[in-house]
Structure 1
């Protein structure tokens, strides 16, 4: 979870990041968030998707 803490919430203003309305924010239940993938150098690492709510700027992750 340390990676989530390091995310700058200003990413919600980045027009190059994809936006989704298919997942609700765990904090405010808004349905719009930007998301991006983490890049790990570990061979056995799973792909992590990081989300930032566009309404309240709450940060969370989902492991795929």
Structure 2
């Protein structure tokens, strides 16, 4: 009985370690996603600005 308890405790410890590693991996992935989102927002903002400038430039042409 004692050896079964010891084995169960060891297994629980292993599972806990694996859960901790997975949580760290998830945290890293989320951090990368947050950074990617921030980068995407910046690019979208720049594209919006470029689109506005292009619209203004095209608006200067007169059609007959």
TM-score normalised by length of structure 2: 0.16
For the pair shown, the structure with the greater C-alpha radius of gyration is: 2
Q: Which has the higher strand share?
A: 1
